[in-house]
Amino acid sequence: MSALLEVDDLRVTFGGTAAVRGISLTVEKGETHCLVGESGCGKSVTSLAVMGLLAKGGKREAARLSFAGDDIRYYDEKQMSRLRGDRMAMIFQEPMTSLNPAYTVGSQMTEVLRRHRGTPRAQAVDRAVELLTRVGITAPGLRLGQFPHQLSGGLRQRVMIAMALMCDPELLIADEPTTALDVTVQAQILRLLAELQKDLGLGILLITHDLGIVARVADRVSVMYAGEVVESAPTAELFRAPRHPYTRGLLSCVPVPGKVKRDEPLGSIPGVVPRIPPGFIGCAFRDRCSFAEAACAGPLPRRNVGPAHEMLCILPEGAGA
Amino acid sequence: MSTPAIEVRGLRREFRASQGLFAPPRRVVAVDDVSFSVPAGSVLGVVGESGCGKTTLARMILGLLEPSGGEVLVDGKRLEGMDRRARARLIQPVFQDPFSSLNPRRRVRDIIAMPLVAQGNVTTSEIDRRVAESLERVGLSTEQGTRFPSQLSGGQRQRVAIARALVLRPRIVVCDEPTSALDVSVQAQILNLLAELRRDLGLTYLFISHNLAVVEHVASEVAVMYLGRIVEKRESEALFRDPRHPYTRALLDSVLTPEPGLGVPDVGLGDIMPDPANIPSGCRFHPRCPACFAPCAATTPRITSLEDGLVECHLAG
Ligand SMILES: Nc1ncnc2c1ncn2[C@@H]1O[C@H](COP(=O)(O)OP(=O)(O)OP(=O)(O)O)[C@@H](O)[C@H]1O
Ligand SMILES: Nc1ncnc2c1ncn2[C@@H]1O[C@H](COP(=O)(O)OP(=O)(O)OP(=O)(O)O)[C@@H](O)[C@H]1O
Ligand code: SF4
Ligand code: SF4
Ligand SMILES: [Mg+2]
Ligand SMILES: [Mg+2]
């Protein structure tokens, strides 16, 4: 059985910038795979590349890119747009990129169903109301008549989530879906996604920088750094035994409620993600890594360091722990 | 007593949303009779549910939105009628959505320079120097300063917004979800930076965030908003140690700590969100409150003063 989504050696460049450098990952039916990593490491570009929505100037290459067994690398725009919003849906990091300011929430939501399924208007409206209610929006009828700019950030985000679910997708790619939301709504939406997953076998690729969310909802976690996956493991394993120095750094700078002191600096990883030119070799984290040595500038091994646990680093197993 | 950096009295804002041709417009009270003051050099954290009025409150304090009632004093001066340039030197925003708050057709360095240029009396070389300084402070390279916002990641764009807010060296910064688009290590850098700036420059922050761990880390006092009202306002340490309002408790219980296997908690607030156009009678939280008792549906709770703050709940009275 092939996975719902299979990405093998995905590469994306923008002119002189290599944004994604050989990423491989899979999402199984009913699985939540979380992608975490520092700002600018290529999480959004990865998801946009999968959806065939790269900005102008972006070039995509992959050894394999398959959805439900079909290789979608050579799909033309027409075939892709038939998939998008239907069997494969996306929640964007910036709600305003997928909400059109000129149309009401209702016409945008029903349009999705009409386009993909030819659903009559009245039925599409019922479906929209049902989903808006499920994401916790009161007075859904009223919201249908409003324009995106009349909604608060959190309401917009919930509308986006409801819109992505209109056609009962098999795969949902969610890019920071709950960052604009307060914690009680966040918990509600994460529970809703888990429910859909159980009912419909929805596969989710979830991009988030919130390690609290990762710990609570992911089956598997891939940690990205500068366009590569540097460590990937089942969730419990990753939190129990993080191996890569970057993963360990990330875990150490999460402010944990009840454990943070005011005015005491938080742990942080010094420096910023470097800009990687095409053809770069070696570990991209080496300028920031306290374990760096000469070998880190050469080609790196991708190794298994535990059950379904792999990392990209020269450190011997168990070192620096 | 020194002048508070921010003081709001009986602040109120209504919106009318049209519901189509024949229905009457819907009246939303986004901020409902809110009063508080923020001492200079301190940080007031504001938390609360999506749509409870945090951004509306912030926009009124910034002078970007006219109140329907009440008044705002910044550094002791009434906002109404203040010169825009003077206001910009005093108080600056960092908004929630770095995508829509940055002009996509301008380069990063020009975006950061905008508030300086608008002052009208700053030399080009001074502008270049201050822009370079701001870029460096937020961890952006000179090369990134020549890019357009669309060529930066979400986190990098938020740094641009912070650099722009700092370029005039304001006294007060209103941060609306300033780190929600950032990953934890950059968030830590930015929070450490904001703390450092506050100490060095004596800045005052109004700090809106849904991340309670972040608010606990930065705020000296925390205001919890619910449907347009501040239902609890306490010294930060006291609020996190001993929350008094049932809504505050639900908020704290919803925090997802990085502990695998615990799943996502159901804190018992139910699935139906409140409707700001249809505010419940009595205590506005009563339909969802796990502690709701006899007087709550009929009688509006009064504000109870505590040693370290205030709370609006019948249980506290
Ligand atoms: N249209 C573009 N043109 C040029 N470079 C781009 C473009 N879009 C993204 N990039 C670059 O690609 C890299 C990856 O960006 P991406 O948006 O995927 O980051 P991210 O991991 O989603 O970060 P964040 O957590 O901040 O959202 C960044 O260095 C960014 O500057
Ligand atoms: N321009 C507007 N027209 C009509 N209603 C508005 C407008 N701006 C805000 N509102 C309403 O006022 C209420 C408060 O919105 P506000 O943006 O202040 O919430 P918030 O607490 O910042 O939410 P979030 O956490 O989602 O950002 C909401 O019900 C919103 O729909
Ligand atoms: S490869 Fe070297 S520089 Fe990179 S994380 Fe491992 S030890 Fe550090
Ligand atoms: S007044 Fe009553 S309903 Fe309101 S928060 Fe207190 S206990 Fe709950
Ligand atoms: Mg992104
Ligand atoms: Mg807001």
Mind telling me how many Å the CA of A188 is from chain B's nearest CA? Answer: 7
Strands B77-78 and B221-226: unpaired
Question: What sign for the dihedral angle of Cα A196, A197, A202, A204?
Answer: positive
Opening angle at CA A287, ends A283 and A292, nearest 5:
65
Mind telling me how many Å the CA of A318 is from chain B's nearest CA? Answer: 21
**Cα B143 to chain centroid, rounded:** 31
Give the span between the Cα atoms of B166 and B254, in whole angstroms.
33
Give the span between the Cα atoms of B32 and B48, in whole angstroms.
14
| Ligand 2 binding pocket mutation candidate from A151, A152, A181 (most atoms within 8 A of CB) | A152
Verify whether ligand 1 is closer than 6 Å to residue A43 (CB atom). Answer: yes
| Ligand 1 binding pocket mutation candidate from A11, A13, A17 (most atoms within 8 A of CB) | A17
Do the chains contact at A180 and B51, CB–CB below 8 Å?
Answer: no
Q: What is the pLDDT of residue B189?
A: 78
Domain range for residue B298?
Answer: 246-317
Q: Report how far ligand 6's centroid is from the alpha carbon of B176 (Å).
A: 7
Strand blocks (E) in chain B:
6-17, 26-38, 43-48, 69-74, 77-78, 91-94, 172-176, 204-208, 221-226, 229-235, 303-306, 309-312
Give the span between the Cα atoms of B8 and A297, in whole angstroms.
57
Would residue A107 count as lying in a domain?
yes
- Listed range (B57-71, B269-283, B286-300) with the worst mean pLDDT: B269-283
Q: How many CB atoms lie within 10 A of CB B212?
A: 25
Q: What is the pLDDT of residue B253?
A: 86
- Listed range (A2-11, A138-147, A175-184, B53-62) with the worst mean pLDDT: A175-184
Q: Which of A149, A164, A206, A158 is nearest to A182 (CA)?
A: A158
The ligand 2 atom at the shortest distance from the C-alpha of residue B59 is 18
- Identify the H or E element spanning A234: strand A228-234
Mean pLDDT of chain B: 89
Q: What is the pLDDT of residue A257?
A: 65
Verify whether ligand 2 is closer than 6 Å to residue B157 (CB atom). Answer: no
Q: What is the pLDDT of residue A319?
A: 52
Q: Evaluate whether B143 touches B85 at the Cβ level (below 8 Å).
A: no
Per-residue confidence at A210, pLDDT binned at 50, 70, 90? confident
Query: A44 to chain B: which residues are within 8 Å by CB?
Result: 153-154
Token pair listed for A158: 């919930």
Q: Evaluate whether A288 touches A316 at the Cβ level (below 8 Å).
A: no
Q: What is the pLDDT of residue A199?
A: 85
User: What is the share, in percent, of chain B residues with pLDDT greater than 90?
Assistant: 61
Among the bound ligands, the one closest to the CA of B291: 4
DSSP conformation class of B146: T
- Listed range (A51-65, A109-123, B257-271) with the worst mean pLDDT: B257-271
Mean pLDDT of chain A: 89
Q: Look at the pTM and tell me if it is higher than 0.90.
A: no
Mind telling me how many Å the CA of A194 is from chain B's nearest CA? Answer: 9
Q: Report how far ligand 2's centroid is from the alpha carbon of A154 (Å).
A: 9
Q: Evaluate whether A189 touches A183 at the Cβ level (below 8 Å).
A: no
Would residue A140 count as lying in a domain?
yes
Give the span between the Cα atoms of B58 and B175, in whole angstroms.
8
Would residue B192 count as lying in a domain?
no
Radius of gyration of chain B, Cα coordinates, nearest whole angstrom: 21
Mind telling me how many Å the CA of B259 is from chain A's nearest CA? Answer: 6
Strands A171-175 and A88-91: parallel
Would residue B39 count as lying in a domain?
no
- Identify the H or E element spanning B54: helix B54-61
Would residue A98 count as lying in a domain?
yes
**Mapping DSSP to helix (H, G, I), strand (E, B) and coil, where does residue B243 land?**
coil
Provide ipTM, 2 decimals: 0.80
Q: Which of A93, A98, A310 is nearest to A206 (CA)?
A: A93
Token pair listed for A77: 């725009």
Give the span between the Cα atoms of B6 and A314, in whole angstroms.
53
| Ligand 1 binding pocket mutation candidate from A11, A13, A14, A211 (most atoms within 8 A of CB) | A14
Would residue A291 count as lying in a domain?
yes
Do the chains contact at B49 and A185, CB–CB below 8 Å?
Answer: yes
Count of domains forming chain B = 1
Verify whether ligand 4 is closer than 6 Å to residue B246 (CB atom). Answer: yes
Q: What is the pLDDT of residue B19?
A: 67
Q: Is residue A99 pLDDT above 50, yes or no?
A: yes
Half-sphere exposure of A151 (CA within 13 A, CB side): 29
Would residue B258 count as lying in a domain?
yes
Residue B197 φ/ψ, nearest 5 degrees: -65, -40
Would residue A28 count as lying in a domain?
yes
Query: B272 to chain A: which residues are within 8 Å by CB?
Result: 136, 138
Q: Evaluate whether B238 touches B308 at the Cβ level (below 8 Å).
A: yes
What's A263's domain CATH number? 3.40.50.300
Residue of A nearest to B56 (CA): A152
DSSP secondary structure string, A163-205? HHTTT--SEEEEESTTTTS-HHHHHHHHHHHHHHHHHH--EEE
Distances (CA, A) of A317 to A225, A234, A250, A293, B315: 20, 17, 19, 16, 56
Would residue A317 count as lying in a domain?
no
Q: Which of A3, A105, A13, A82 is nearest to B17 (CA)?
A: A105
Q: What is the pLDDT of residues B9-39, one digit of tens each?
A: 999 999 987 766 677 788 999 999 999 999 9
Verify whether ligand 1 is closer than 6 Å to residue B39 (CB atom). Answer: no
Q: Evaluate whether B209 touches B187 at the Cβ level (below 8 Å).
A: no
Strand blocks (E) in B122-190:
172-176
Q: How many CB atoms lie within 10 A of CB B27?
A: 12
Strand blocks (E) in A62-214:
64-67, 70-71, 88-91, 171-175, 203-207
Q: Evaluate whether A19 touches A220 at the Cβ level (below 8 Å).
A: no
Among the bound ligands, the one closest to the CA of B57: 2
Q: What is the pLDDT of residues B79-99, one digit of tens each?
A: 888 899 999 999 999 886 666
Who wins on pLDDT, B195 or B210?
B195
Domain range for residue A262?
Answer: 5-305
The ligand 3 atom at the shortest distance from the C-alpha of residue A284 is 4
Q: What is the pLDDT of residues B132-161, one digit of tens each?
A: 999 987 878 999 999 999 888 767 887 898
- Listed range (A223-232, A246-255, B163-172, B306-315) with the worst mean pLDDT: A246-255
Count of domains forming chain A = 1
A161-174 as b/e, with b when 16 or more CB fall inside 10 Å? bbbbbbbebbbbbb
Do the chains contact at A136 and B271, CB–CB below 8 Å?
Answer: yes
Question: What sign for the dihedral angle of Cα B172, B176, B182, B184?
Answer: positive
Verify whether ligand 2 is closer than 6 Å to residue A152 (CB atom). Answer: yes
Q: What is the pLDDT of residue A320?
A: 47
Per-residue confidence at B101, pLDDT binned at 50, 70, 90? confident
Would residue B52 count as lying in a domain?
no
Per-residue confidence at A235, pLDDT binned at 50, 70, 90? very high
Would residue B203 count as lying in a domain?
no
Strands A5-14 and B69-74: unpaired
Token pair listed for B296: 């709550």
Would residue A54 count as lying in a domain?
yes
